[in-house]
Structure 1
């Protein structure tokens, strides 16, 4: 008897058992697909696709998922807390539960209401190198570097120099971006300032930079 013949006879002999096994597997798969969410499940907000921290979160980027209550991570966002328009601290994979630790809040949010994060160009890069996040500084307008001697206070007869314009006092440094001095010899820091101080700091930074004194 050939091998093909023996194989055919074996399949015929066990056809009933094989059919029963296939039916059982199909039924098991259907049960898994139709199995309801456990009663103790908790609805959470998950990423609907891979997300990048470079783009704000949109409504189509998130969806509602369910996890057993014991598996829900601390700080998980719930339906109604979707971070639409917010920013992420890092990349997020599709299906990952979004937590409060994944959200990037405004840089000055922890420094009280009415404060904003303001990039400030410090005219002296060496002075800027002395501060770190958490340092507290006073900021005054620096004299524009392009001012010629005959245009400054000395041309008026050598009297006392004009009083420096104080732009902000006792302001916390939020961040010190990496990088060396710029083309004019200054460097950038970010401070938390009152909203009504932001315009003056930005204007002084654009004109000739800002001078600082360090409180702590």
Structure 2
């Protein structure tokens, strides 16, 4: 308290002092609020996301996908592949998929697989020896040879066809009838007709050129 001032003036000075302190606090609060608002205005909005299927672990070609092979993840909508698969349980991988990789339709056996092989016809070929199929890998280029079981004569029915998908877990060794193992290949339309015809009455095998 200041000596010599009447009580009324002392109270008035105290009130003015409190008002000045509060004005500074109010001004500081308004500045802080304005700063936060400006930052929110300038900051880019959170990107839109879409749910995609990604591999839960490294998956080899030929895997028949189960529920625990894939997980759903939020992915930026502008970065998500346009052909991301929306359902895949029970489908067969046509190529290996790494852990965390988005699964696309061209990675699984089906009509979309042709998009990755423009100009080729995609068809499954049953090799009577499942162990032979296990030697193949996606990307291999092989010749298909048909052998007549009655005469034992053989002939090449298609050259340099591309292996697109191979089985996993197929039993080794020969298996007649409906046994063996399916391999998905890409070939020309004419070759596809020759291969399909030969597969009805002959045994198909593969060979590599040096």
With normalisation by structure 1, the TM-score equals 0.47
Higher alpha-carbon Rg: 2
